[in-house]
Structure 1
Amino acid sequence: MERYVRLLFIILYLGIFPVASAQSTEDEEQNPLREFQDTQLASDRFDMFFGSINRYTINSAYDWLDTVKVYLSNAQKTNDSTASRLYRVMQAQLYNDLGEFDKSTALAKELHVILDSLDINSRKIVLEVLDDNYANLQLFDKQIEVRKQKRELGFTQNVAFYDIYSNLGLYRKARNQYIMEVKPTIADNDSYGLARYHSKVGNYLRLDNSAPTALSELKKAKAYLDVFINDISTEKTEAQLFESDLLKAEIEGNIAKCHVMLGEYETAIPLLENSIEVLDTSSKNGHKSEVVENTLYLADANLQLERFTTAKTNLDIEFENISILQNIKRNSLLAAYYDRVENFRNAATYYKRNERIKDSLAQKQSAIIKQQLVTIVANEDLENSQRLIDEQKRINELARSEMKAKDERINLVFISLIFTLLGFAGLVYAYLKSIKNQRLIAEQKHIIENALVEKDSLLKEIHHRVKNNLQMVSSLLSLQTKNTRSKAAIVALEEGKSRVKAMALIHQKLYQNDDLSVIEMQGYIESLINSVQSVYKKGGHNISITIDAEGTELDIDRAIPFGLILNELVSNSFKYAFPENDENGKIYIHLSKNGDQGFFEYTDNGVGLPEDADERAHSSMGIRLMNRLVNQLQSKLNIDKQQEGVRFWFNFN
């Protein structure tokens, strides 16, 4: 009765009260059904219906179905065959969304008969609806025929069997075939595709009772999806974001189900609740089934935690579509609930219900599975046979071509034999000469290798002596410091000594390395920090210093100016950044090099630069020195004043 009243209201809205209905308060918010009704052309309504990602948010599928029936009736009255076909396609999709698969199949089969008269989008939708209906009705042989037609029309590239195997309960076979068919088609940088792939593999593992392994795959899927969602370099449409949210909810739901299987109920409950809330916004039958499944797992978790009232509330939810297996699980949970609350009569009732369902299912299911497996195997064998025939044809063609080429080669053999005999004599001569050349090359190689070893030894000795000489200069500066009474002169000598030590460290690292061309910067920076700390004995020892330069190597031409720059920065931080207390002091040093491009960053959380820092920069020895050194690296020193501390950074080649 209620549906007839609603239908009458829609007719009044369309034909009698267009002005009055326009004054509805619903106009104030976006209403897909209202927009659908306001659209004039059937083709535009069709595009809007299938383009809407949330058409059931405000109005139910029943509201949409009633509206489409009115438009279909009007189109049939006016003999508008094109519009009638479009509304019938929408009607088939609506029955599918409502879970009335028999009605949807009947409509889709009628449209399938006139498939050639439909536009390309309508054809694809009709075949997709039939595919989904046959899957839900377990008519897998029909589903395979539809998929073959989709391949012939170019909608898919091959006939997939993995989801059919999954529906038959053959999860391991489904997983193996899915990996074999889908993994090679996904690019390494396709984060969304990899998320869907690992989600599917993880779900197959979960269904195969391999919860720990499934959990690992599902977490990997979530990580890939987070990369896709957080990638700000790629603009995403509203539909892509909506699908991403649904996939995330699907992954979180499967992760939660793994936790329930492992007995980790507290961890599972919030994930299940969030997954149910998001998936409930989807119109897809697969997501509706997931909502039912997640609700049953949520009831199981609450039951295990002895939250009986919450568990019973979960189990009392009336779902529009629930599969036989889900109904069995629901009955089992209800029986367990009544056992826990000591209502044994009700518990026995649900146990008996399950026994009747299982007996009926056992009789039908084995025959169905046998029939479907024979169909699938037969189809696979047929396709394999066809591939073998095509391969044999190709081999026969190659054999014929080879026979023809062989006849031509025989004619050339006699001619080539003469040239071969003549060439043989030349080869003997060339062979003898090559032996002589190889001996000469081996001797020259031995001489060059010895020369290289000697050169490396000499270079190491040179770097060692340079380091010793710089240490001697540092010692002389220390002696001069002790004999100097001027405080400014002492500071200048200490700074000079620190800079000399920074250069000496470069040469020390070089003669200690096997490779004399580059310096490993992580170890060098650590040694340099220790050297600077030894100069400033009263400060710098409580500062937390983070160095991020692992794996970065520089040649000597870049390492020396870089070492002097870092020496100036660290010295300034020790001297000026923390004048009162360095207990909470932090210094962060980052150096990286990717190919020809390098990046350096230095920050501390000290008092920062003074307000007249720009004016002092012209007179400051340290700033001027750093600017010149950065110029040697063909770059420019950048200084950012922060709320706490200061940041120095530059790029270099």
Structure 2
Amino acid sequence: MGRYVRFLFLSVYFAFLSVSSAQIIAEDEESVLKEFQDTDLPSERFDVFFNSLDRYNVNSAYDWLDTIKIYLANAQKTQDTSAILLYQVMQAQIYNDLGDYDKSTVLAKELIAAPDTLDIEYQKKVLDVLDDNYANLQLYDKQIEVREQKRELGITENVAFYDIYSNLGLYREAWQQFAKEVKPTIADNDAYGLAKYHSKMGNYLRLDDSAPTALKEFNKAKGYLNVYLNDVSIQNSEGDIFEAELLKARIEGGIAKCHVELGEYELAIPLLEQSIEVLKASANNSDQSEVIENSLFLAEANLQEDAYAKAKKILDMEFENISVLQTIKRNSLLGAYYDRIENFKNATGYYKRNERIKDSLAEKQSTIIKQQLVTIVANKNLQNSQRMIDEQKRNIELIRNDMKAKDERINLVFISLIFTLLGFAGLVYAYLKSIKNQRLIAEQKHIIENSLVEKDSLLKEIHHRVKNNLQMVSSLLSLQTKNTRSKAAIEALEEGKSRVKAMALIHQKLYQNDDLSVIEMQGYIESLINSVQSVYKKGGHNISITIDAEGTELDIDRAIPFGLILNELVSNSFKYAFPENDENGKIYIHLRKNGDQGYFEYTDNGVGLPEDTDERAHSSMGIRLINRLVNQLQSKLNIDKQVDGVRFWFNFS
């Protein structure tokens, strides 16, 4: 009996401690739900619900749903019609926040079916919920109907389509439409608006596989946001500061994702961690989806940096409302993780999961639906364009009639001065024509300058993609090397990989240069030698290498043959020139070009060439490749055999 009483006492004591701890935690941060419950009028509760910075700071969406259901039941008992509608609007928003878009849509459609009972402010809330529901359900035709309804109610002037293009995967159309519709509406001194604009542009460009251009847009956005936050003349509310911090987190997340796509993982990791931490506090569904997206990129960056434990910890997290595409990426990363740790059974399992998911997407049907939706968007655009054209025609007709009446009055009053006016009109006409010509010249100059900038951007993007494709070929060769047992085959694959890297490096240097027509050879040769050294891990690291190519620039037609020639010569030196010890090894590379004439020389102080070099030249792929590349430069290879080492040289034009 005594034991039972003692056990009961301890149970009550620990329960009391738990309740006290919960109260302390709750008191640390003010509960929005408690503020909601302490408010008397339904309209005031509505304002607390929608105006709170983070209504789920302490209590979950399920707590809110249970509370609002109680208030709704009481309103129904008292037949308070206006209160019932307000609670149902809040209920529709909570179902949307929970990801139950079907239930939210049914409730919102019932509310909007009787618009006379809802004020315009409440109708806007319901239509916003419906808009987001249809976007998440991929019912874009319904989404367009909602936006048309907003325009008819005067909630918005224009119907925007750029986010629908983005959801359809048409990212190029999205950023073009966004730039056309949104940029003219932003004032030059609106730093916050410009930050949001460039952030959105950066995201669309990144999704369109244009990471370098996207990075520029994100950096512009970050600059404008810093101007906004540091402007002491602006009195920002707590809500404004919270929204600015969320925007900063989105921008930093976008910058980080660009760094990941460009292979700059160390720069990306801290930015992704900061972005995730801030965006977790947002109640916005799109921000929570961004948290998932940033987490997957963070896992990828850690995986590439060989931080396998960190990557696995992120990938094992439970994500709510993860999309199909995000699930596919997560499976791919898990497969890559298990590949890295050589657990090929698990890796194969995740790759097979992705295949099953892709098969279940029914791609053909999805493509047909997408085409239909694109047609709908095009038709809606056509209607809007036609409406604008008709309105412009009416304005032009009114202006024309007004001008005609004024001309008649002027002719009646000043008929005696007609010849003077004609002479003056001739002078004015000549002056206006001169101004018009100057304006046309300025516009054409502006168009040409923009075209040149766009051409440079496109060329950089092309070189970047070519480099990425060559890196993919190099990765495939590496994968093939792992599955090959033949030593000769492995050596051949490694040589092929080295040659591919030499060409990829050319394209990398081009898209990193401001001048796309030439390559600075000193830096390129240094990078090439580092790349070759990484292939031959057992040799070449103690050799003294002197490069004399400072200030020499070559175009891509000459740089690629030179890169491949150097790749072969340096590889041969690393492999054969110093078979016993490379501590006293020396390599000298000399490259000069003066006007139309150029000179190339390569020497090493190794063991030199064998006696049967001339006979081997016909069977050795390396020598044959060098000769063909020299012929491509319209020259002839010269080989000087020395006591210590060998010298290759040729002139070129």
Relative to the length of structure 1, the TM-score reads 0.58
Aligned residue in 1 for 2:118: 118
Aligned residue in 2 for 1:331: 331
Aligned 1:550-561 pairs, distance under 5 A: none
Aligned residue in 2 for 1:288: 288
Aligned residue in 1 for 2:322: 322
- For 2:92 and 2:255, the matched residues in 1 are separated by 34
Aligned residue in 2 for 1:130: 130
Aligned residue in 2 for 1:377: 378
Aligned residue in 2 for 1:278: 278
Aligned residue in 2 for 1:49: 49
- For 1:263 and 1:420, the matched residues in 2 are separated by 74
The change in CA–CA distance for 1:73 and 1:305 in structure 2 (over 3 A counts) is same
Q: Compute the displacement of 1:383 (Å).
A: 1.7
Q: Which runs of 5+ in 1 are unaligned?
A: 1-19, 432-653
- For 2:32 and 2:274, the matched residues in 1 are separated by 25
Q: Compute the displacement of 1:115 (Å).
A: 2.1
Moved more, 169-178 or 235-244: 169-178
Larger Rg: 1
Report whether the alignment pairs 1:150 with 2:150: yes
Aligned residue in 1 for 2:60: 60
- Which residue identity lines up with residue 227 of structure 2 in the other structure? V
Other structure's SS at 1:374 match: helix
The change in CA–CA distance for 1:420 and 1:403 in structure 2 (over 3 A counts) is closer
Aligned residue in 1 for 2:352: 352
**What are the Cα deviations for residues 42-87 of structure 1, in whole angstroms up to 9, with x where unaligned?**
1111110111101111111111111111111221122111111111
Moved more, 170-179 or 253-262: 170-179
Q: Compute the displacement of 1:355 (Å).
A: 1.6
Aligned residue in 1 for 2:391: 390
**What are the Cα deviations for residues 440-488 of structure 1, in whole angstroms up to 9, with x where unaligned?**
xxxxxxxxxxxxxxxxxxxxxxxxxxxxxxxxxxxxxxxxxxxxxxxxx
Q: Which runs of 5+ in 2 are unaligned?
A: 1-18, 428-653
Q: Compute the displacement of 1:152 (Å).
A: 2.2
The answer on whether the counterparts of 2:29 and 2:58 sit within 8 Å (CA) in structure 1 is no
Q: Compute the displacement of 1:119 (Å).
A: 2.0
Other structure's SS at 2:283 match: coil
Report whether the alignment pairs 1:40 with 2:46: no
Other structure's SS at 1:381 match: helix
Q: Compute the displacement of 1:411 (Å).
A: 8.7
The answer on whether the counterparts of 2:175 and 2:204 sit within 8 Å (CA) in structure 1 is yes
- Which residue identity lines up with residue 40 of structure 1 in the other structure? D
- Which residue identity lines up with residue 120 of structure 2 in the other structure? I
The change in CA–CA distance for 1:247 and 1:397 in structure 2 (over 3 A counts) is closer
**What are the Cα deviations for residues 525-565 of structure 1, in whole angstroms up to 9, with x where unaligned?**
xxxxxxxxxxxxxxxxxxxxxxxxxxxxxxxxxxxxxxxxx
Moved more, 218-227 or 282-291: 218-227
Aligned residue in 1 for 2:299: 299
- For 1:396 and 1:210, the matched residues in 2 are separated by 45
- For 2:82 and 2:400, the matched residues in 1 are separated by 54
Q: Compute the displacement of 1:427 (Å).
A: 9.0
The change in CA–CA distance for 1:333 and 1:24 in structure 2 (over 3 A counts) is closer
Aligned residue in 2 for 1:188: 188
- For 1:224 and 1:409, the matched residues in 2 are separated by 53
- For 1:85 and 1:427, the matched residues in 2 are separated by 72
- For 2:85 and 2:206, the matched residues in 1 are separated by 42
- For 1:333 and 1:104, the matched residues in 2 are separated by 33
- For 1:213 and 1:40, the matched residues in 2 are separated by 53
Aligned residue in 2 for 1:95: 95
- Which residue identity lines up with residue 64 of structure 2 in the other structure? W
- For 1:185 and 1:324, the matched residues in 2 are separated by 35
Aligned residue in 2 for 1:313: 313
Q: Aligned residues, how many?
A: 404
Other structure's SS at 1:160 match: coil
The answer on whether the counterparts of 2:194 and 2:221 sit within 8 Å (CA) in structure 1 is yes
Aligned 1:215-226 pairs, distance under 5 A: 215-226=215-226
- For 2:399 and 2:281, the matched residues in 1 are separated by 57
Other structure's SS at 2:189 match: coil
Other structure's SS at 1:147 match: helix
- For 2:200 and 2:384, the matched residues in 1 are separated by 25
- For 1:303 and 1:409, the matched residues in 2 are separated by 81
Q: Compute the displacement of 1:212 (Å).
A: 1.3
Q: Compute the displacement of 1:410 (Å).
A: 12
Q: Compute the displacement of 1:96 (Å).
A: 0.9
- For 1:427 and 1:197, the matched residues in 2 are separated by 51
- For 1:235 and 1:392, the matched residues in 2 are separated by 44
The change in CA–CA distance for 1:188 and 1:394 in structure 2 (over 3 A counts) is closer
The change in CA–CA distance for 1:81 and 1:370 in structure 2 (over 3 A counts) is same
The change in CA–CA distance for 1:412 and 1:68 in structure 2 (over 3 A counts) is same
- For 2:423 and 2:205, the matched residues in 1 are separated by 64
The change in CA–CA distance for 1:405 and 1:184 in structure 2 (over 3 A counts) is closer
Q: Compute the displacement of 1:396 (Å).
A: 5.0
- For 1:232 and 1:402, the matched residues in 2 are separated by 49
Q: Compute the displacement of 1:345 (Å).
A: 2.2
The change in CA–CA distance for 1:230 and 1:360 in structure 2 (over 3 A counts) is same
- Which residue identity lines up with residue 389 of structure 2 in the other structure? L
Moved more, 386-395 or 267-276: 386-395
Aligned 1:104-503 pairs, distance under 5 A: 104-361=104-361, 362-395=363-396, 412=412, 416=415
Q: Compute the displacement of 1:360 (Å).
A: 3.0
Other structure's SS at 1:293 match: helix
- Which residue identity lines up with residue 176 of structure 2 in the other structure? N
The change in CA–CA distance for 1:266 and 1:385 in structure 2 (over 3 A counts) is same
- For 1:90 and 1:52, the matched residues in 2 are separated by 13
- For 2:96 and 2:306, the matched residues in 1 are separated by 38
- For 1:257 and 1:87, the matched residues in 2 are separated by 40
- For 1:313 and 1:29, the matched residues in 2 are separated by 29
The answer on whether the counterparts of 2:225 and 2:248 sit within 8 Å (CA) in structure 1 is yes
- For 2:356 and 2:140, the matched residues in 1 are separated by 25
Q: Compute the displacement of 1:180 (Å).
A: 1.3
**What are the Cα deviations for residues 571-626 of structure 1, in whole angstroms up to 9, with x where unaligned?**
xxxxxxxxxxxxxxxxxxxxxxxxxxxxxxxxxxxxxxxxxxxxxxxxxxxxxxxx
Aligned residue in 1 for 2:439: none
Other structure's SS at 2:235 match: coil
Q: Compute the displacement of 1:259 (Å).
A: 0.7
The change in CA–CA distance for 1:409 and 1:211 in structure 2 (over 3 A counts) is same
Moved more, 316-325 or 85-94: 316-325
- For 2:288 and 2:388, the matched residues in 1 are separated by 39
The change in CA–CA distance for 1:299 and 1:419 in structure 2 (over 3 A counts) is closer
Q: Compute the displacement of 1:27 (Å).
A: 4.7
The change in CA–CA distance for 1:215 and 1:405 in structure 2 (over 3 A counts) is closer
The change in CA–CA distance for 1:216 and 1:399 in structure 2 (over 3 A counts) is closer
Q: Compute the displacement of 1:402 (Å).
A: 6.9
- For 1:308 and 1:125, the matched residues in 2 are separated by 45
The answer on whether the counterparts of 2:215 and 2:258 sit within 8 Å (CA) in structure 1 is yes
Q: Compute the displacement of 1:391 (Å).
A: 3.4
Other structure's SS at 2:218 match: helix
Q: Compute the displacement of 1:354 (Å).
A: 1.4
- Which residue identity lines up with residue 172 of structure 2 in the other structure? R
The change in CA–CA distance for 1:81 and 1:213 in structure 2 (over 3 A counts) is same
- Which residue identity lines up with residue 175 of structure 2 in the other structure? R
- For 1:228 and 1:293, the matched residues in 2 are separated by 27
The change in CA–CA distance for 1:40 and 1:403 in structure 2 (over 3 A counts) is closer
**What are the Cα deviations for residues 389-435 of structure 1, in whole angstroms up to 9, with x where unaligned?**
333444555666677778x589959x93x7657x79x999xx9xxxx
- Which residue identity lines up with residue 386 of structure 2 in the other structure? S
The change in CA–CA distance for 1:388 and 1:231 in structure 2 (over 3 A counts) is closer
The change in CA–CA distance for 1:385 and 1:90 in structure 2 (over 3 A counts) is same
Other structure's SS at 1:319 match: coil
Identity %: 60
- For 1:405 and 1:232, the matched residues in 2 are separated by 51
